[in-house]
Structure 1
Amino acid sequence: MSKHERWSTLLELLAGAGRIDVDDAAAALAVSPATVRRDLDELAGQQMLVRTRGGAVAHGVSYELPLRYKSSRHASEKQRIATAVAGMLADGDVVGLNGGTTTTEVARALALRAGGTCDGRGRRDAAESSAPVFTVVTNALNIASELAVRPRVKLVVTGGVARPQTYELVGPLTAGVLDQVVLDVAVLGVDGVDPRLGLMTHHEDEAGVSRLLAERARRVIVVTDASKMGRRAFARICGLDRVDVLVTDTGLPSATTARLTEAGIEVHTV
Structure 2
Amino acid sequence: MTRAERLSALLELLVSAGRIEVEESAATFAVSAATIRRDLDYLADQQLLSRTHGGAVPNTTSYDLPLRYKSINHGEAKTRIAQAAVAMLWPGCTVSLNGGTTTVEVARAIPSAEPLHHGITVVTNAINIATELTVRPFIKIMVCGGVARPQSYELVGAMASETLSQLTPDICFLGATGLDPAAGITTHDEAEAAINRVMVRQAKRTVVVADSSKLGTIGFSRICHVHEVAAVLTDSDADPAMTATLRKAGIDVILA
TM-score by length of 1: 0.82
- Residues 42 and 156 (structure 1), Cα distance of their counterparts in 2 relative to 1, 3 Å cut: same
**The one of 173, 178, 182 aligned to 2:159:** 173
Distance in structure 2 (CA, Å) of the matches to 1:226 and 1:192: 10
- Residues 73 and 36 (structure 1), Cα distance of their counterparts in 2 relative to 1, 3 Å cut: farther
CA displacement at 1:248 relative to structure 2 = 1.2
Question: What's the CA shift string for 1:124-148, capped at 9, x where partnerless?
Answer: xxxx75xx2x111100001001111
CA displacement at 1:234 relative to structure 2 = 1.1
- Any residues of structure 2 matched to 1:141-152 within 5 Å, and which? 141-152=127-138
CA displacement at 1:227 relative to structure 2 = 1.1
Distance in structure 1 (CA, Å) of the matches to 2:21 and 2:72: 23
Distance in structure 1 (CA, Å) of the matches to 2:166 and 2:84: 29
Q: Could you say what the CA RMSD is over the residues aligned between the two structures, in angstroms? A: 2.7
CA displacement at 1:26 relative to structure 2 = 4.4
Distance in structure 2 (CA, Å) of the matches to 1:9 and 1:253: 27
- Any residues of structure 2 matched to 1:188-267 within 5 Å, and which? 188-267=174-253
Give the aligned partner of residue 141 of structure 2.
Answer: 155
- Residues 141 and 61 (structure 1), Cα distance of their counterparts in 2 relative to 1, 3 Å cut: closer
Amino-acid identity (%): 47
Give the aligned partner of residue 90 of structure 2.
Answer: 90
SS at 1:182 equivalent: coil
- Any residues of structure 2 matched to 1:113-128 within 5 Å, and which? 113=113
Distance in structure 1 (CA, Å) of the matches to 2:109 and 2:187: 23
Distance in structure 2 (CA, Å) of the matches to 1:150 and 1:36: 41
User: Residue 126 of structure 2 contacts residue 154 of structure 2 at CA under 8 Å; is this kept in 1?
Assistant: yes
- Residues 83 and 200 (structure 1), Cα distance of their counterparts in 2 relative to 1, 3 Å cut: same
Give the aligned partner of residue 46 of structure 2.
Answer: 46
Distance in structure 1 (CA, Å) of the matches to 2:9 and 2:29: 12
**The one of 11, 16, 28 aligned to 1:12:** 16
- Residues 246 and 38 (structure 1), Cα distance of their counterparts in 2 relative to 1, 3 Å cut: farther
- Residues 38 and 238 (structure 1), Cα distance of their counterparts in 2 relative to 1, 3 Å cut: same
Relative to structure 2, which stretch is displaced further, 178-187 or 45-54? Answer: 45-54
Give the aligned partner of residue 21 of structure 2.
Answer: 22
| Number of aligned residues | 249
The one-letter code sitting in structure 1 at the alignment partner of 2:21 is V
Distance in structure 2 (CA, Å) of the matches to 1:36 and 1:263: 50
Distance in structure 2 (CA, Å) of the matches to 1:41 and 1:195: 41
Distance in structure 2 (CA, Å) of the matches to 1:150 and 1:67: 23
SS at 1:183 equivalent: coil
Question: What's the CA shift string for 1:188-247, capped at 9, x where partnerless?
Answer: 100111221111111111001110000001111111111111111111100000121111
SS at 2:96 equivalent: strand
| Structure 2, unaligned runs of 5 or more | none
Relative to structure 2, which stretch is displaced further, 97-106 or 48-57? Answer: 48-57
Distance in structure 1 (CA, Å) of the matches to 2:50 and 2:222: 27
Distance in structure 1 (CA, Å) of the matches to 2:40 and 2:95: 40
The one-letter code sitting in structure 1 at the alignment partner of 2:190 is E
Q: In the alignment, does 2:103 pair up with 1:109?
A: no
User: Residue 146 of structure 2 contacts residue 157 of structure 2 at CA under 8 Å; is this kept in 1?
Assistant: yes
Distance in structure 2 (CA, Å) of the matches to 1:195 and 1:61: 26
| Structure 1, unaligned runs of 5 or more | 15-19, 117-127
- Residues 109 and 21 (structure 1), Cα distance of their counterparts in 2 relative to 1, 3 Å cut: closer
CA displacement at 1:5 relative to structure 2 = 4.4
Distance in structure 2 (CA, Å) of the matches to 1:186 and 1:248: 15
SS at 1:51 equivalent: strand
